Structure 1
Amino acid sequence: MRIKKNEGSDGTTNGAVKRERGHVHEQVLRYMRRGLMIGAFLPGQVMSLRKLAAGFGTSPMPVREVLSRLVAANALEETKGGSVRVPRLSPEKLSDLFAVRELLEGMATELAAKKAKPALIAELNGINKQLLQAIEKRDIANCLSSNQKFHFTLYEAAESEVLLPLIESLWLQFGPTMYMSLLIPSMPWNAADHEDILKALKEGNAAAAKRGIVHDIRTTCRALLSVAGSNGIELPFAQGPELLFEN
Protein backbone atom coordinates (compact mmCIF):
# COMPACT_ATOMS: atom_id res chain seq x y z
CA MET A 1 0.00 0.00 0.00
CA ARG A 2 2.80 2.37 -0.90
CA ILE A 3 1.97 5.74 -2.43
CA LYS A 4 3.75 6.16 -5.75
CA LYS A 5 5.53 9.38 -6.51
CA ASN A 6 4.49 11.65 -9.36
CA GLU A 7 6.33 10.48 -12.48
CA GLY A 8 4.86 12.53 -15.29
CA SER A 9 3.47 15.89 -16.30
CA ASP A 10 0.73 14.85 -18.73
CA GLY A 11 -1.94 14.67 -16.06
CA THR A 12 -2.46 10.91 -16.37
CA THR A 13 0.00 9.93 -13.66
CA ASN A 14 -1.07 12.85 -11.49
CA GLY A 15 -4.63 11.56 -11.58
CA ALA A 16 -3.49 8.04 -10.71
CA VAL A 17 -1.46 9.37 -7.78
CA LYS A 18 -4.44 11.33 -6.48
CA ARG A 19 -6.68 8.28 -6.73
CA GLU A 20 -4.09 6.18 -4.90
CA ARG A 21 -3.75 8.78 -2.17
CA GLY A 22 -7.52 8.89 -1.83
CA HIS A 23 -7.64 5.11 -1.59
CA VAL A 24 -4.97 5.04 1.13
CA HIS A 25 -6.72 7.85 3.02
CA GLU A 26 -10.04 5.97 3.01
CA GLN A 27 -8.36 2.73 4.04
CA VAL A 28 -6.62 4.40 7.00
CA LEU A 29 -9.86 6.15 7.98
CA ARG A 30 -11.84 2.90 7.80
CA TYR A 31 -9.27 1.08 9.94
CA MET A 32 -9.08 3.83 12.54
CA ARG A 33 -12.86 4.22 12.79
CA ARG A 34 -13.35 0.49 13.26
CA GLY A 35 -10.52 0.32 15.80
CA LEU A 36 -12.12 3.06 17.86
CA MET A 37 -15.62 1.59 17.63
CA ILE A 38 -14.68 -1.90 18.74
CA GLY A 39 -12.31 -0.78 21.51
CA ALA A 40 -8.97 -1.72 19.95
CA PHE A 41 -7.67 1.75 20.90
CA LEU A 42 -7.95 2.62 24.57
CA PRO A 43 -8.69 5.75 26.64
CA GLY A 44 -5.53 7.80 27.05
CA GLN A 45 -3.65 5.94 24.30
CA VAL A 46 -1.46 8.23 22.20
CA MET A 47 -1.68 7.73 18.45
CA SER A 48 1.81 7.21 17.05
CA LEU A 49 1.91 8.81 13.61
CA ARG A 50 5.11 6.98 12.69
CA LYS A 51 3.87 3.59 13.87
CA LEU A 52 0.53 3.90 12.10
CA ALA A 53 2.17 5.09 8.88
CA ALA A 54 4.63 2.18 9.00
CA GLY A 55 1.78 -0.25 9.57
CA PHE A 56 -0.01 1.01 6.48
CA GLY A 57 3.19 1.23 4.44
CA THR A 58 2.50 4.86 3.60
CA SER A 59 3.78 8.33 4.37
CA PRO A 60 2.59 10.10 7.53
CA MET A 61 0.50 12.56 5.49
CA PRO A 62 -2.71 10.49 5.02
CA VAL A 63 -2.48 9.27 8.62
CA ARG A 64 -2.15 12.86 9.87
CA GLU A 65 -5.18 13.88 7.79
CA VAL A 66 -7.25 11.03 9.20
CA LEU A 67 -6.26 11.85 12.78
CA SER A 68 -7.29 15.47 12.18
CA ARG A 69 -10.69 14.33 10.90
CA LEU A 70 -11.19 12.15 13.96
CA VAL A 71 -10.22 15.03 16.27
CA ALA A 72 -12.85 17.17 14.53
CA ALA A 73 -15.38 14.37 15.10
CA ASN A 74 -14.55 14.31 18.85
CA ALA A 75 -13.31 10.73 18.56
CA LEU A 76 -9.73 11.81 19.32
CA GLU A 77 -8.26 14.85 21.06
CA GLU A 78 -5.14 16.93 20.60
CA THR A 79 -3.00 17.49 23.67
CA LYS A 80 -1.22 20.71 24.60
CA GLY A 81 2.00 19.11 23.42
CA GLY A 82 0.56 18.57 19.95
CA SER A 83 0.12 14.79 20.10
CA VAL A 84 -3.19 13.08 19.42
CA ARG A 85 -4.72 10.62 21.83
CA VAL A 86 -7.92 8.78 22.67
CA PRO A 87 -9.91 10.87 25.18
CA ARG A 88 -10.61 9.67 28.70
CA LEU A 89 -14.34 10.06 29.23
CA SER A 90 -15.49 11.66 32.45
CA PRO A 91 -18.33 9.86 34.26
CA GLU A 92 -20.66 12.69 33.21
CA LYS A 93 -19.83 12.38 29.52
CA LEU A 94 -19.95 8.61 29.64
CA SER A 95 -23.43 8.79 31.17
CA ASP A 96 -24.57 11.27 28.52
CA LEU A 97 -23.24 9.13 25.67
CA PHE A 98 -24.94 6.00 26.96
CA ALA A 99 -28.22 7.83 27.60
CA VAL A 100 -28.27 8.96 23.96
CA ARG A 101 -27.29 5.44 22.90
CA GLU A 102 -30.39 4.10 24.61
CA LEU A 103 -32.58 6.47 22.63
CA LEU A 104 -31.01 6.05 19.20
CA GLU A 105 -30.08 2.38 19.35
CA GLY A 106 -33.38 1.53 20.97
CA MET A 107 -35.17 3.26 18.08
CA ALA A 108 -33.00 1.51 15.48
CA THR A 109 -33.61 -1.88 17.10
CA GLU A 110 -37.35 -1.34 17.16
CA LEU A 111 -37.37 -0.37 13.47
CA ALA A 112 -35.17 -3.33 12.56
CA ALA A 113 -37.37 -5.74 14.52
CA LYS A 114 -40.43 -4.62 12.57
CA LYS A 115 -38.64 -5.43 9.31
CA ALA A 116 -36.70 -8.48 10.47
CA LYS A 117 -36.65 -11.44 8.09
CA PRO A 118 -35.35 -14.96 8.78
CA ALA A 119 -32.10 -14.17 6.96
CA LEU A 120 -31.30 -11.32 9.37
CA ILE A 121 -32.10 -13.44 12.41
CA ALA A 122 -29.90 -16.25 11.07
CA GLU A 123 -27.04 -13.82 10.43
CA LEU A 124 -27.30 -12.29 13.91
CA ASN A 125 -27.47 -15.76 15.46
CA GLY A 126 -24.26 -16.73 13.65
CA ILE A 127 -22.49 -13.58 14.82
CA ASN A 128 -23.63 -14.18 18.38
CA LYS A 129 -22.28 -17.74 18.28
CA GLN A 130 -18.91 -16.31 17.25
CA LEU A 131 -19.14 -13.90 20.19
CA LEU A 132 -19.94 -16.71 22.62
CA GLN A 133 -16.97 -18.75 21.33
CA ALA A 134 -14.70 -15.72 21.73
CA ILE A 135 -15.96 -15.16 25.28
CA GLU A 136 -15.29 -18.80 26.16
CA LYS A 137 -11.75 -18.56 24.77
CA ARG A 138 -11.17 -15.12 26.31
CA ASP A 139 -10.32 -13.95 22.79
CA ILE A 140 -10.51 -10.20 23.44
CA ALA A 141 -10.14 -9.00 19.86
CA ASN A 142 -12.93 -11.25 18.59
CA CYS A 143 -15.14 -10.46 21.60
CA LEU A 144 -14.95 -6.77 20.76
CA SER A 145 -15.25 -7.27 17.02
CA SER A 146 -18.19 -9.70 17.17
CA ASN A 147 -20.05 -7.51 19.65
CA GLN A 148 -19.77 -4.47 17.38
CA LYS A 149 -20.72 -6.55 14.35
CA PHE A 150 -23.86 -7.85 16.08
CA HIS A 151 -25.02 -4.37 17.00
CA PHE A 152 -24.37 -2.78 13.63
CA THR A 153 -25.85 -5.66 11.63
CA LEU A 154 -29.01 -5.11 13.67
CA TYR A 155 -28.99 -1.33 13.28
CA GLU A 156 -28.32 -1.47 9.55
CA ALA A 157 -31.49 -3.53 9.20
CA ALA A 158 -33.46 -0.48 10.37
CA GLU A 159 -32.62 1.00 6.95
CA SER A 160 -32.41 4.53 8.38
CA GLU A 161 -30.05 6.96 6.68
CA VAL A 162 -30.35 9.28 9.68
CA LEU A 163 -29.93 6.93 12.63
CA LEU A 164 -26.89 4.94 11.53
CA PRO A 165 -24.44 7.87 11.14
CA LEU A 166 -25.54 9.22 14.53
CA ILE A 167 -25.02 5.83 16.15
CA GLU A 168 -21.60 5.53 14.53
CA SER A 169 -20.57 8.92 15.96
CA LEU A 170 -21.49 7.69 19.46
CA TRP A 171 -19.53 4.46 19.03
CA LEU A 172 -16.47 6.41 17.91
CA GLN A 173 -16.56 8.26 21.23
CA PHE A 174 -17.39 5.52 23.73
CA GLY A 175 -15.97 2.52 21.83
CA PRO A 176 -12.49 2.74 23.42
CA THR A 177 -14.07 2.01 26.82
CA MET A 178 -15.36 -1.38 25.67
CA TYR A 179 -12.05 -3.14 26.26
CA MET A 180 -12.29 -2.14 29.92
CA SER A 181 -15.78 -3.60 30.20
CA LEU A 182 -14.24 -7.03 29.57
CA LEU A 183 -12.08 -6.66 32.68
CA ILE A 184 -14.85 -5.79 35.16
CA PRO A 185 -15.65 -8.78 37.42
CA SER A 186 -19.11 -7.42 38.28
CA MET A 187 -20.17 -7.60 34.64
CA PRO A 188 -18.94 -10.79 32.98
CA TRP A 189 -19.68 -10.85 29.27
CA ASN A 190 -22.23 -13.58 28.51
CA ALA A 191 -24.28 -12.12 25.61
CA ALA A 192 -27.48 -12.78 27.58
CA ASP A 193 -29.10 -9.60 26.26
CA HIS A 194 -28.24 -10.63 22.71
CA GLU A 195 -30.07 -13.90 23.31
CA ASP A 196 -33.13 -11.97 24.52
CA ILE A 197 -32.96 -9.74 21.43
CA LEU A 198 -32.78 -12.76 19.12
CA LYS A 199 -35.76 -14.34 20.89
CA ALA A 200 -37.74 -11.11 20.47
CA LEU A 201 -36.85 -10.90 16.78
CA LYS A 202 -38.02 -14.48 16.20
CA GLU A 203 -41.30 -13.69 17.94
CA GLY A 204 -41.72 -10.42 16.01
CA ASN A 205 -41.81 -8.51 19.30
CA ALA A 206 -40.27 -5.11 18.50
CA ALA A 207 -40.86 -3.71 22.00
CA ALA A 208 -39.06 -6.63 23.63
CA ALA A 209 -36.15 -6.29 21.21
CA LYS A 210 -35.86 -2.63 22.13
CA ARG A 211 -35.91 -3.49 25.85
CA GLY A 212 -33.13 -6.00 25.28
CA ILE A 213 -30.82 -3.49 23.58
CA VAL A 214 -31.56 -0.82 26.19
CA HIS A 215 -30.79 -3.25 29.00
CA ASP A 216 -27.55 -4.25 27.28
CA ILE A 217 -26.46 -0.60 26.98
CA ARG A 218 -27.52 0.30 30.51
CA THR A 219 -25.74 -2.69 32.07
CA THR A 220 -22.49 -1.84 30.32
CA CYS A 221 -22.77 1.81 31.39
CA ARG A 222 -23.26 0.89 35.05
CA ALA A 223 -20.25 -1.41 34.97
CA LEU A 224 -18.01 1.21 33.35
CA LEU A 225 -19.11 3.90 35.80
CA SER A 226 -18.25 1.56 38.69
CA VAL A 227 -14.56 1.72 37.71
CA ALA A 228 -14.42 5.30 36.45
CA GLY A 229 -12.53 7.92 38.44
CA SER A 230 -13.13 11.66 38.28
CA ASN A 231 -10.87 11.86 35.23
CA GLY A 232 -12.41 8.88 33.50
CA ILE A 233 -11.59 5.21 33.38
CA GLU A 234 -8.04 4.64 34.53
CA LEU A 235 -6.09 1.91 32.80
CA PRO A 236 -3.68 -0.36 34.65
CA PHE A 237 -1.20 0.16 31.80
CA ALA A 238 0.10 3.15 29.89
CA GLN A 239 -0.58 1.79 26.41
CA GLY A 240 -3.22 -0.52 25.10
CA PRO A 241 -2.51 -4.08 24.01
CA GLU A 242 -1.79 -4.87 20.39
CA LEU A 243 -5.28 -5.91 19.30
CA LEU A 244 -5.43 -7.21 15.76
CA PHE A 245 -8.81 -7.01 14.10
CA GLU A 246 -10.34 -7.33 10.66
CA ASN A 247 -10.54 -4.03 8.79
Structure 2
Amino acid sequence: MQGSANLNLMMKAARKAGRSLVKDFREVENLQVSSKGPGDFVSRADREAERLIRDDLTTGRPTYGFLGEETGETEGADPTRRWIVDPLDGTTNYLHGLPHWAVSIALEHKGEIVSGVVYDPAKDEMYWAEKGAGAWMNERRLRVSGRRQMIESIFATGVPFGGRGTLPATLQDLARLMPVCAGVRRWGAASLDLAYVAAGRFDGYWERGVQAWDIAAGMLLVKEAGGFVSAIRDGDDPLGKGAVICANEPLFDPFRRIIRGE
Protein backbone atom coordinates (compact mmCIF):
# COMPACT_ATOMS: atom_id res chain seq x y z
CA MET A 1 0.00 0.00 0.00
CA GLN A 2 1.28 3.45 -0.92
CA GLY A 3 1.13 6.19 1.69
CA SER A 4 1.00 9.94 1.34
CA ALA A 5 3.93 12.11 0.34
CA ASN A 6 4.47 13.03 4.00
CA LEU A 7 4.49 9.39 5.05
CA ASN A 8 6.93 8.45 2.31
CA LEU A 9 9.22 11.27 3.46
CA MET A 10 9.04 9.95 7.05
CA MET A 11 9.80 6.39 6.01
CA LYS A 12 12.75 7.49 3.90
CA ALA A 13 14.17 9.51 6.81
CA ALA A 14 13.66 6.63 9.24
CA ARG A 15 15.46 4.18 6.96
CA LYS A 16 18.40 6.54 6.44
CA ALA A 17 18.78 7.06 10.20
CA GLY A 18 18.36 3.32 10.72
CA ARG A 19 21.23 2.52 8.36
CA SER A 20 23.46 4.93 10.24
CA LEU A 21 22.48 3.44 13.59
CA VAL A 22 22.99 -0.15 12.41
CA LYS A 23 26.49 0.70 11.22
CA ASP A 24 27.36 2.17 14.62
CA PHE A 25 25.57 -0.64 16.46
CA ARG A 26 28.07 -3.11 15.05
CA GLU A 27 30.79 -1.22 16.92
CA VAL A 28 29.06 -1.26 20.30
CA GLU A 29 30.13 -4.78 21.28
CA ASN A 30 33.77 -3.91 20.62
CA LEU A 31 33.45 -0.81 22.76
CA GLN A 32 32.10 -2.76 25.74
CA VAL A 33 35.65 -3.81 26.67
CA SER A 34 37.25 -0.38 26.31
CA SER A 35 38.18 1.65 29.38
CA LYS A 36 35.98 4.56 28.30
CA GLY A 37 32.99 2.40 27.43
CA PRO A 38 30.42 2.93 24.70
CA GLY A 39 28.33 5.70 26.28
CA ASP A 40 29.88 8.65 24.46
CA PHE A 41 29.90 6.73 21.20
CA VAL A 42 26.18 5.92 21.48
CA SER A 43 25.37 9.55 22.30
CA ARG A 44 27.09 10.62 19.12
CA ALA A 45 25.21 7.96 17.12
CA ASP A 46 21.92 9.20 18.61
CA ARG A 47 22.64 12.85 17.73
CA GLU A 48 23.78 11.94 14.22
CA ALA A 49 20.58 9.97 13.61
CA GLU A 50 18.48 12.97 14.65
CA ARG A 51 20.54 15.25 12.41
CA LEU A 52 19.89 12.98 9.43
CA ILE A 53 16.17 12.84 10.16
CA ARG A 54 15.90 16.56 10.74
CA ASP A 55 17.77 17.38 7.54
CA ASP A 56 15.49 15.16 5.45
CA LEU A 57 12.25 16.33 7.05
CA THR A 58 13.05 20.03 7.05
CA THR A 59 14.33 19.89 3.47
CA GLY A 60 11.12 18.20 2.37
CA ARG A 61 8.79 20.34 4.53
CA PRO A 62 10.65 23.52 5.50
CA THR A 63 7.63 25.20 7.11
CA TYR A 64 6.85 22.45 9.63
CA GLY A 65 7.93 22.67 13.27
CA PHE A 66 10.20 20.07 14.82
CA LEU A 67 10.31 18.47 18.27
CA GLY A 68 13.22 16.10 18.77
CA GLU A 69 14.60 14.30 21.79
CA GLU A 70 18.11 15.55 21.20
CA THR A 71 17.59 19.06 19.83
CA GLY A 72 14.35 20.13 21.48
CA GLU A 73 11.62 22.15 19.79
CA THR A 74 11.85 24.50 16.84
CA GLU A 75 8.73 26.37 15.78
CA GLY A 76 7.91 26.33 12.09
CA ALA A 77 6.37 28.96 9.85
CA ASP A 78 3.30 26.68 9.75
CA PRO A 79 2.14 26.62 13.39
CA THR A 80 -0.36 23.82 12.74
CA ARG A 81 2.16 21.11 11.84
CA ARG A 82 5.21 19.67 13.56
CA TRP A 83 7.35 16.58 13.43
CA ILE A 84 7.85 14.65 16.70
CA VAL A 85 11.02 12.57 16.55
CA ASP A 86 12.87 10.06 18.70
CA PRO A 87 15.96 9.11 16.68
CA LEU A 88 16.86 6.21 18.98
CA ASP A 89 14.18 4.80 21.26
CA GLY A 90 15.75 2.07 23.38
CA THR A 91 19.11 3.74 23.94
CA THR A 92 19.98 1.50 26.87
CA ASN A 93 19.35 -1.60 24.75
CA TYR A 94 21.55 -0.14 22.02
CA LEU A 95 24.23 0.70 24.56
CA HIS A 96 24.31 -2.93 25.74
CA GLY A 97 24.31 -4.46 22.28
CA LEU A 98 20.69 -5.66 22.50
CA PRO A 99 18.99 -5.58 19.07
CA HIS A 100 15.70 -4.05 20.22
CA TRP A 101 15.49 -0.32 19.49
CA ALA A 102 13.75 1.89 16.98
CA VAL A 103 13.46 5.18 15.14
CA SER A 104 10.13 6.93 15.81
CA ILE A 105 8.71 9.78 13.70
CA ALA A 106 5.23 11.29 14.01
CA LEU A 107 3.49 14.17 12.26
CA GLU A 108 1.15 16.29 14.33
CA HIS A 109 -1.50 18.51 12.70
CA LYS A 110 -3.53 20.90 14.84
CA GLY A 111 -2.70 18.94 17.97
CA GLU A 112 -3.55 15.51 16.52
CA ILE A 113 -1.14 12.82 15.34
CA VAL A 114 -2.01 12.11 11.70
CA SER A 115 0.97 10.03 10.52
CA GLY A 116 3.40 7.79 12.36
CA VAL A 117 6.41 5.61 11.60
CA VAL A 118 8.26 3.26 13.97
CA TYR A 119 11.21 1.56 12.29
CA ASP A 120 13.09 -1.36 13.84
CA PRO A 121 16.32 -1.49 11.80
CA ALA A 122 17.71 -4.62 13.46
CA LYS A 123 14.71 -6.64 12.22
CA ASP A 124 13.89 -4.44 9.20
CA GLU A 125 10.32 -3.99 10.44
CA MET A 126 8.72 -0.73 9.32
CA TYR A 127 5.52 0.02 11.22
CA TRP A 128 3.48 2.86 9.76
CA ALA A 129 0.05 4.40 9.95
CA GLU A 130 -1.96 7.34 8.73
CA LYS A 131 -5.19 8.58 10.21
CA GLY A 132 -8.07 6.68 8.61
CA ALA A 133 -5.81 4.43 6.51
CA GLY A 134 -5.02 1.62 8.95
CA ALA A 135 -1.77 0.41 10.47
CA TRP A 136 0.83 -1.67 8.66
CA MET A 137 4.11 -3.50 9.20
CA ASN A 138 6.01 -3.50 5.92
CA GLU A 139 3.23 -4.69 3.56
CA ARG A 140 1.08 -6.47 6.16
CA ARG A 141 -2.07 -4.91 7.61
CA LEU A 142 -2.02 -4.89 11.41
CA ARG A 143 -4.81 -5.67 13.85
CA VAL A 144 -4.70 -5.72 17.64
CA SER A 145 -5.07 -9.10 19.30
CA GLY A 146 -8.44 -10.78 19.66
CA ARG A 147 -7.93 -12.03 23.21
CA ARG A 148 -10.78 -11.35 25.60
CA GLN A 149 -9.54 -12.71 28.94
CA MET A 150 -6.96 -11.01 31.14
CA ILE A 151 -5.53 -14.33 32.28
CA GLU A 152 -4.64 -15.21 28.66
CA SER A 153 -3.02 -11.86 27.89
CA ILE A 154 0.48 -10.44 28.12
CA PHE A 155 1.19 -6.77 28.72
CA ALA A 156 4.19 -4.52 28.25
CA THR A 157 5.45 -1.61 30.33
CA GLY A 158 8.57 0.29 31.22
CA VAL A 159 9.98 -0.21 34.71
CA PRO A 160 11.61 3.04 35.88
CA PHE A 161 15.31 2.99 36.63
CA GLY A 162 17.68 5.02 38.76
CA GLY A 163 15.18 5.92 41.44
CA ARG A 164 12.77 7.77 39.14
CA GLY A 165 9.64 9.02 40.85
CA THR A 166 7.24 6.75 39.00
CA LEU A 167 8.83 3.57 40.37
CA PRO A 168 6.51 3.08 43.40
CA ALA A 169 3.37 3.42 41.28
CA THR A 170 4.73 1.00 38.69
CA LEU A 171 5.57 -1.60 41.34
CA GLN A 172 2.03 -1.29 42.67
CA ASP A 173 0.69 -1.73 39.13
CA LEU A 174 2.71 -4.92 38.73
CA ALA A 175 1.51 -6.30 42.05
CA ARG A 176 -2.11 -5.89 40.94
CA LEU A 177 -1.67 -6.98 37.34
CA MET A 178 0.68 -9.95 37.40
CA PRO A 179 -1.60 -12.33 39.37
CA VAL A 180 -4.43 -11.87 36.84
CA CYS A 181 -2.60 -12.00 33.49
CA ALA A 182 -0.33 -14.35 31.51
CA GLY A 183 2.75 -12.17 31.92
CA VAL A 184 4.37 -8.74 31.75
CA ARG A 185 7.27 -7.80 29.49
CA ARG A 186 9.75 -4.96 29.92
CA TRP A 187 11.64 -4.69 26.63
CA GLY A 188 12.93 -1.15 26.92
CA ALA A 189 11.51 0.68 23.89
CA ALA A 190 8.10 2.33 24.27
CA SER A 191 7.61 2.89 20.55
CA LEU A 192 8.06 -0.83 19.88
CA ASP A 193 5.81 -1.77 22.81
CA LEU A 194 3.04 0.21 21.10
CA ALA A 195 3.89 -1.21 17.69
CA TYR A 196 3.69 -4.72 19.14
CA VAL A 197 0.24 -3.97 20.58
CA ALA A 198 -0.82 -2.83 17.11
CA ALA A 199 0.57 -6.07 15.68
CA GLY A 200 -1.20 -8.26 18.25
CA ARG A 201 2.08 -9.44 19.79
CA PHE A 202 1.29 -7.73 23.08
CA ASP A 203 -2.30 -7.45 24.29
CA GLY A 204 -1.78 -4.12 26.04
CA TYR A 205 0.76 -1.58 27.24
CA TRP A 206 0.96 1.09 29.89
CA GLU A 207 3.65 3.40 31.18
CA ARG A 208 4.16 6.57 33.18
CA GLY A 209 6.88 9.15 32.72
CA VAL A 210 7.26 8.78 28.96
CA GLN A 211 7.93 11.65 26.57
CA ALA A 212 5.84 12.66 23.58
CA TRP A 213 8.53 11.48 21.15
CA ASP A 214 8.48 8.02 22.76
CA ILE A 215 4.80 7.36 22.11
CA ALA A 216 3.39 9.75 19.48
CA ALA A 217 3.83 7.49 16.45
CA GLY A 218 3.03 4.30 18.36
CA MET A 219 -0.26 5.64 19.70
CA LEU A 220 -1.50 6.19 16.15
CA LEU A 221 -0.42 2.67 15.19
CA VAL A 222 -2.56 1.20 17.97
CA LYS A 223 -5.59 3.32 17.11
CA GLU A 224 -5.38 2.50 13.41
CA ALA A 225 -5.02 -1.20 14.25
CA GLY A 226 -8.33 -1.10 16.12
CA GLY A 227 -7.05 -0.59 19.66
CA PHE A 228 -8.08 1.82 22.38
CA VAL A 229 -5.58 4.40 23.66
CA SER A 230 -5.93 6.94 26.45
CA ALA A 231 -4.19 8.56 29.35
CA ILE A 232 -4.18 6.48 32.51
CA ARG A 233 -6.35 9.09 34.22
CA ASP A 234 -9.51 10.49 32.63
CA GLY A 235 -9.15 13.97 31.23
CA ASP A 236 -5.38 13.85 30.84
CA ASP A 237 -3.55 14.12 27.54
CA PRO A 238 -1.19 11.14 27.23
CA LEU A 239 1.30 13.12 25.15
CA GLY A 240 1.31 15.99 27.62
CA LYS A 241 1.16 13.96 30.82
CA GLY A 242 3.37 11.11 29.64
CA ALA A 243 1.09 8.43 31.10
CA VAL A 244 -0.49 6.16 28.49
CA ILE A 245 -2.46 2.93 28.43
CA CYS A 246 -3.77 0.88 25.51
CA ALA A 247 -5.29 -2.48 24.67
CA ASN A 248 -7.88 -4.08 22.42
CA GLU A 249 -11.53 -3.28 23.08
CA PRO A 250 -12.47 -6.29 25.28
CA LEU A 251 -9.43 -5.87 27.55
CA PHE A 252 -9.19 -2.11 27.71
CA ASP A 253 -11.63 -1.38 30.56
CA PRO A 254 -10.60 -4.23 32.91
CA PHE A 255 -6.93 -3.52 32.22
CA ARG A 256 -7.31 0.20 32.90
CA ARG A 257 -9.25 -0.43 36.11
CA ILE A 258 -6.43 -2.65 37.40
CA ILE A 259 -3.75 -0.08 36.57
CA ARG A 260 -5.81 2.65 38.19
CA GLY A 261 -6.28 0.54 41.31
CA GLU A 262 -10.07 0.66 41.08
TM-score past 0.5 threshold:
no
Bigger radius of gyration: 1
TM-score, length-normalised on structure 1? Answer: 0.26
TM-score, length-normalised on structure 2? Answer: 0.25
